[in-house]
Every structure is written in structure tokens, then in C-alpha cells.
Structure 1
Amino acid sequence: MKLVCNSQMQEIENLSFENNSSSALLMDNAGKSIAEVVKNIIETHNINTKILILVGPGNNGGDGLIAGTILFTEGYDISIYVCSPRNNQDNLLSKCIEKNIPVTSIESSNFMSKLISDLSNCDLILDAILGINANRPIVDPLTKVFELIECEHTNRLSKYDSNMSQPFVISIDIPSGMNSDNGAVYSHAVRADLTITLGFPKIGMFTENGLSHTGKIINLPIGLSKYGEHLSTEVIETEWIRSELPTREINSHKGDSGKVLVWAGSRKYIGAAYLSCMAAMRTGSGYVTLITTPKLQEILASKMTEPIYHLIPENLDGNLSYNASYSNVTSLKSNDVTLLGPGIDQNTESRRFLMNMLEYSKTVETQLVIDADGLNILSQTENWQSSFHKPAILTPHPGEMARLMKTSIETVQSNRIYHARTAAVDWGHYIVLKGACTIIADPKGNCRIIPFANPVLASSGTGDVLAGMIASFAANMNSPFNAATIGAYIHAVVGEIMSERIGKIGSLAGDMLPLIPSAIMKLSNKEFIHPIIIDK
């Protein structure tokens, strides 16, 4: 599903106007569609029908007025609060007044007292105050309105022990007060249970802060879909993942399921080798070969017996020896994918061997995936971007991304999509910027967002699991971009399953491994329901 920023949405609307559409027509389409969604919610949740519609001065408010008029005509108990003065020639507001819909204006002396009373007695709030152009702090009297909404919302949540199944606050297009481009809240913003977004979801909704305000999301096309085919940013949906998942023929053998070579782990980070290798195997790789030292192999073999071990020289500590070089891997058979970096440490020997492995990769046809310490070593290497024979998949978390970019984590997090896209284009590699709503960007400037944010994945080792999963899919697919996308999405689905079965606190990266096949099966069998995006 394509995403837009504010300027792109305006361009798309202008394109529609050039093709015999109009602002009034789009507003009418939006209002009708919103009314249908609200009616469906009321019927689904068996909600009483007292609805407050809070409108502002612009088209967002117009959408709310049209939806309110339709709902009132069909017998719903509607009250409209005009929270910011509208144009005196406003036909939409005049129509509401003509139909005897209760309308209270911000200019009324009893506005606040009446709103307080109605908020405590209503069943739904429809937030149509501000649209996608909000880009500055909220000031009085809107500040007070937002505070009253938040207070009543909090009261409802506490009543239902924060597990309220039915929506109470529904925002139109975007929660009022939130920046549609980056999810920023300058002072106050409505915290919705559901956002009915119009035309296209907005990029700012799929940021860490955005998700905490939008709640669940329904997108209503309102006749604009055909004008967004050129958009380069999209949020990934379950149906797309299902359609792109690799399949196995009934007569396939292990050689058909992808060969992955892994260099991971050290005495300090033994678990990284286990997690990345087993993730690749659990994701479906037929062969996984681990490059490791004899002492580490003795430890790892007691925990994982499925991978093949390729031993390289070690020092007295059992770590990689300085003598380990290019010649130690030339005997390896060709592999579809080579994963380098999880837990390899950043010592001199590891740095030297990583550069040897990059040289080795130029002599064989293998897709590189670089993670963790592999990225940290690159960040300390001059002109590292030219060390590859073809675009690699790089999987940084924000700290590693900041080191690669020579900037701060705060800068990276301030505009994750921009920085992931810019890096992918400038460096010529695929970027998987991990975090809430992981971003995958390709060298052509296309961006995909994985619409999940789950604290269960905030645990050491989950990144090693992701690296192994992406490597496995890359070994089974011709598109590194698709492999990285599918790997990140299913990794997030595993997180959702782990949260339900084990809990958000105390779950370990190793707990993910046996759940990977379950996640793939749930997606294949259409058993997975996305926790945020609602299929209208």
C-alpha cells in the first residue's frame, strides 16, 4: 500500500482536479466512506449511537460534517462541535444547522462545559479537527479541547483495564496535531484508537511516535489510487508477503532450498553464530555452513547439529587467528548467500578476515548480507562502499547506521525513511534499518515499511535471528529487495506470536527460532491478522 507525504498528497489531489475531480467531490467521497466505516463499527461492536463529531476549519472538518449529516439522516444521535471557526459561507455547516443537527461553536460561552458533559456521555468521538497540514504547536482554545479528549480517553481505558476492544476515538485522515510527514507532535495531538486515512496512508503514521497516536488504520481510496502509482514509499501488507513467499515443489531436495555461508560468533558472542545459523535453517535453507574455529565448534556442536562446520585457524583463546585468510575459504563450495558479521567482534583479526571475505566474494557468485560487527568494521574502513562486487544487504540498527553515516543516532531516528533511502542510493546497497517499523530501501530509492512495533524484539540476539532469516530468503529468491522485505516482515510476525505465547517481557531471541515455521505457515494459510492495518 503506497504512502504519501504532505506535498505528494497535494500533488495527487491536483492531478485529480485536472481530470475532472474537485475538492468538493473528494470531500463528498470521503464523507460517505467515513460514514460507512462508522456504521460498520457500531454494528460490529454493538455500540450505542451517541456520536460527537469535532470539526476544524479545513477540508478535514468538511469530511466530518458530511459524515455527520449522513449519519444523522440515518437516525444516529449526532452532536457537532466546531472547535475552530469555519468560513461564514460554509454550506456544509449550514446544511447541518438546517437539518437541526445540534451544533456548538467554539465561540459559544458554554462550549467547554457542554463539551465536557457530552464527552463523558458519548459512545464515539470522530476527530475531524486538523488534517495533514498541522506543522506547529497547538494553542488555546484547541489545547483545552485536546486535553479534554485525552482525559476522557484515559478514563475509558482505565475502566476497561487498557483492553478496550471497541474504538472510542476515531481520527479522520490523521490524528489532529500530528505531523503527517514524520509523526512529530509539537505540543498536543489526539491519540486515536482508529484512524480512517483518506486516499493513501501518510508516512508519519508509520513512525514510532505515529503508531502511538494512530491506533489501528483503515485506508479509504476515495478515487485517488490511480494517481499514486509513481509513489516510491509503501507499507507492506500481509497479502503481498503471502504472494511472494518462496514455495517448494513436491520433488525438491535440499540443494534447491538455498545454500547459506555464515561467518558469525566469537568467544565473546558465541550465541550470535547459533542464532543466525538456526534462523537460516528454520526459515528453510537446505544447507547452512558456519565458518568458525575449532574451540567454538566444540561448544556450538552441542547446541546445533544441523549446520556444516568449516574450521579456520584459531589462537590460544579460541578466537580467529591472524593467520586466517582468503586461502582458508577458497576450498568452500559455492553458496547462494554469504552472511558476515553477527558477533564476530571488532578485533584486528576479525577486521582483516572480513576484508578477505569481501575479496573472496568477488570471485564467486554470492549475495552478501552484512550485519552487526561486520557493519561496525566497515564504518571504520575508508571507502568501504567500493569493497563489494554487487549491491549487498546491510542490516544496521540505528546505532550502526549512525556509525556508517558518521552522524548521531538522534539524526538517524529523526527521519528514518529519508536516511535509509539516501544511504541506499548513495552507497548502492540495500538497507534494512531496524527498529519500530523497520525500513527497507533499495539503491533505486524505493522504500518499504514493515508496519510492526513490538517491544518483545528489544532483546539481544533478535537482530542475529533477522540476519539469518534474510540470508535464507535471499538464497531462495532472485530479488534481494524482496528477500529483505519478507525476512523483516516474518521476523515481526514471529515477534507477535512470541508476545502471545510467552509474553513481551522475558522472551529471548532463542524463543523465536521454533516459531519461524509457524509464522510462515500462518501467513501461507491466511491465519495471520495484522494488529494495526485493517482490511476494509
Structure 2
Amino acid sequence: MAQLREITAATLREWPLPQPSFDGDKEVRGHILVVGGAREMPGAVILAATAALRAGAGKLTIATAASVAPLVALAIPESRVIGLAETAGGGFTLDAARKLGELHGKADAVLVGPGMQDEAATAELVHALLPRFAGTRLILDAGAMAAVRPREPHLLEETEDRAHFRFAEPVLLTPHAGELAHLGGWKKEEIADAPQDAARRAAAQWNAVVALKGATTVIAAPGGTLWQHQGGNVGLAISGSGDALAGIIAGLAARGASLEQAAAWGVALHASAGEQLSIRFGVLGYLAREISAEVPALLRTLAPA
């Protein structure tokens, strides 16, 4: 069985993030594409995109629902914002895949999912994006993770326990126990009782890096390697917190971190931000929008000596 690696400050200092040269421009720092949001939830993509910039990405493009694109553009003036046609259920039409495909080779990392509705349409969009962004670091969050539950028979593989989908190239998935149970058809209680086994099983089955979120977060790579992080506080269990985490991870990936490294660093930074905020505001009551502002100072603190 693969060794379990604890994610600590020492671990991170021994696993430094890619750093741009002192004269590097915004292209060198990485271009992140964030796809998400909906008429009813424009805030999620704003939280994620802001966090990606706070994590050090140099260039930001947001693709969101056409109905809220002007609002998002005003909220994040640092970004380019693309409006996408919407389905009746609050997702995006498949024409979005063609439009976003034009960014292939320009985006260093792609985050899909924050605030997206219409699970079926979102899963179809992800499958349409996969070949268009082959070779690009891809992070699937929230509704975008439904891509592992495809409805098209030609996307299924029969195994002993159930039909399932496998990514041609590893992507990063960020479920909590309830989401993982829904995605895999497993029992939430079993996942909670044995998170390491659950994360490893999911990673191997889907050919994905799986960051199973919780009070103790377990990260599993397809090859069986495991990382574990304990920290943060209950104040992080708040609306929008997962969007901020996904954005931090995506920003690190855009800078050149591998999916495993981006997940490990992202989880630790997110937890440490919660600890810092609890000092000022108390454990309960700080907001998800405040998490990402803590990240730049934490990155400096955790830099190699």
C-alpha cells in the first residue's frame, strides 16, 4: 500500500511552488480560465476567480452565464469575461464548448464548475471540453464532477462492481463525502469511516487526482499515492468556501504546479486562511469572500527558507 504523506508546513517548504523570474510578465505567471456561475449563483465564479488571482495566477479569463456576465466583469475588473448561452435549467449550451475551445493553448489551467446548475448539461459540456483542452491542467468542481456519471453508453466501461467513466488524462476532482457518494454510487457513511480507501478507490477508478474534502482532507493520485491534511476550523464550513478553495488550487495549477501539488498546497492555504481569519473574527462569522485575501501573505510565509 502506498505511503501516506502528511501535509505540513515542512512538507510544503520541501515541495516549493514554481516561481516566475523577477522580470516575468503576466503570461509567465500563468493564464487561468474559470468556467462557472449561473443566473442564480454568479457569486461562486467571482469567489473562485478572485482566489485564483490571489494564488498568483497572472492572467484571468472568466466564462459565465450571459445574463450575469456584465455583473461579473464589474466585480472583477482584472478579468476578461465571456458570456455563454444558457439552458433553461441554468447550465450552458454545448455551443459553449466551441467558444471556449478557442482558448486551447492559451490557458495554462482550466477550472470548471463553481456555481454551475443543470447537472446533465454541465456533464455534457465537460465531455465536450475534455478533447479540446487535452494536455491542459483541468480542475472539476461542484456540478462539473458529474462528468464521471455519463449517460452515453459509449462512454461507459463495464467493471465488476458498476459501469464507470475513466478520464483519458488525469484531472482533479474536489468532492466532499456527500458529493463523492453521489458520484460513485457509494454510501456516505462508508466514505466518512474510511476516507483514505474511498479517495484511493475513486482516483484509480476515474483516473483522477481526488481531493476528498473534510475536517481531514485526503488527496489521492491515480497511482495510489496519498496525502493527508488536518487543520482549519469549522468556520470554513460556509457557503462559498469550496469555491474559494477550487480557485486557489486552479491558480496554483496555472502557475505550473502539478495537480497533486496544487491540491496539497491549496488545501493547506485554505485551512491556514481560516485559522488566520478566526483570530480576527472568531471561529464563526468570517466570510468566504475573505479567505482568498489571506493567501498572498501565507504563500510568503510558507516559501522555502
The TM-score, its normalising length taken from structure 2, stands at: 0.88
State the 1:444 CA deviation.
1.3
| Structure 1 CA distance for aligned equivalents of residues 86 and 291 of structure 2 | 31
Q: Which residue of 2 aligns with 1:366?
A: 136
User: Does 2:302 align with 1:523?
Assistant: yes
Report matched runs for 1:50-449 at 5 Å: 232-243=3-14, 244-314=16-86, 319-320=90-91, 322=93, 324-334=95-105, 335-362=107-134, 365-379=135-149, 381=151, 383=156, 385-386=165-166, 388-449=167-228
State the 1:499 CA deviation.
0.9
Cα pair 2:168 2:207 within 8 Å, conserved: no
Cα pair 1:497 1:519 within 8 Å, conserved: no
1:139-197 Cα distance to aligned partner (Å, 9 max, x none): xxxxxxxxxxxxxxxxxxxxxxxxxxxxxxxxxxxxxxxxxxxxxxxxxxxxxxxxxxx
State the 1:336 CA deviation.
1.2
| Structure 1 CA distance for aligned equivalents of residues 52 and 192 of structure 2 | 29
| Structure 1 CA distance for aligned equivalents of residues 247 and 114 of structure 2 | 9
SS of equivalent to 2:67: helix
State the 1:309 CA deviation.
1.1
1:416-461 Cα distance to aligned partner (Å, 9 max, x none): 1111112212322101000111111111111111121410111011
CA RMSD of aligned residues (A): 2.2
SS of equivalent to 1:305: coil
Q: Which residue of 2 aligns with 1:108?
A: none
Of 469-478 and 344-353, deviating more is 344-353
Report matched runs for 1:501-520 at 5 Å: 501-520=280-299
Cα pair 2:113 2:142 within 8 Å, conserved: yes
1:505 counterpart letter in structure 2: L
1:61-95 Cα distance to aligned partner (Å, 9 max, x none): xxxxxxxxxxxxxxxxxxxxxxxxxxxxxxxxxxx
Cα pair 1:274 1:304 within 8 Å, conserved: yes
State the 1:247 CA deviation.
2.4
1:296-318 Cα distance to aligned partner (Å, 9 max, x none): 11121221111211222246x79
2:7 counterpart letter in structure 1: I
SS of equivalent to 2:75: coil
SS of equivalent to 1:471: helix
| Structure 1 CA distance for aligned equivalents of residues 205 and 147 of structure 2 | 19
| Structure 2 CA distance for aligned equivalents of residues 311 and 524 of structure 1 | 37
SS of equivalent to 1:438: strand
Cα pair 1:379 1:403 within 8 Å, conserved: no
Q: Which residue of 2 aligns with 1:8?
A: none
Of 471-480 and 389-398, deviating more is 471-480
Change (3 A) 1:484 1:348: closer
User: Does 2:265 align with 1:494?
Assistant: no
Count of aligned positions: 293
State the 1:358 CA deviation.
2.3
| Structure 2 CA distance for aligned equivalents of residues 350 and 515 of structure 1 | 31
Cα pair 1:371 1:396 within 8 Å, conserved: yes
1:85-138 Cα distance to aligned partner (Å, 9 max, x none): xxxxxxxxxxxxxxxxxxxxxxxxxxxxxxxxxxxxxxxxxxxxxxxxxxxxxx
Cα pair 1:341 1:374 within 8 Å, conserved: yes
- The higher-RCO structure (CA 8 Å, 6+ apart) is 2
Change (3 A) 1:302 1:489: same
SS of equivalent to 1:524: coil
State the 1:360 CA deviation.
2.0
Change (3 A) 1:354 1:428: closer
SS of equivalent to 1:273: helix
User: Does 2:241 align with 1:471?
Assistant: no
| Structure 2 CA distance for aligned equivalents of residues 267 and 403 of structure 1 | 25
SS of equivalent to 1:450: strand
SS of equivalent to 2:175: coil
Change (3 A) 1:401 1:319: closer
Change (3 A) 1:343 1:255: same
Change (3 A) 1:493 1:358: same
SS of equivalent to 2:210: strand
1:268-309 Cα distance to aligned partner (Å, 9 max, x none): 221110011111011000112111233211121221111211
SS of equivalent to 1:265: coil
The unaligned stretches of length 5 or more in structure 1 are 1-229, 527-536
SS of equivalent to 2:249: helix
| Structure 1 CA distance for aligned equivalents of residues 198 and 34 of structure 2 | 28
Change (3 A) 1:435 1:313: same
Change (3 A) 1:524 1:321: closer
| Structure 2 CA distance for aligned equivalents of residues 467 and 239 of structure 1 | 23
Cα pair 2:94 2:125 within 8 Å, conserved: no
SS of equivalent to 2:95: coil
Cα pair 1:346 1:377 within 8 Å, conserved: no
Cα pair 2:204 2:223 within 8 Å, conserved: yes
Change (3 A) 1:359 1:268: farther
2:12 counterpart letter in structure 1: I
The TM-score, its normalising length taken from structure 1, stands at: 0.52
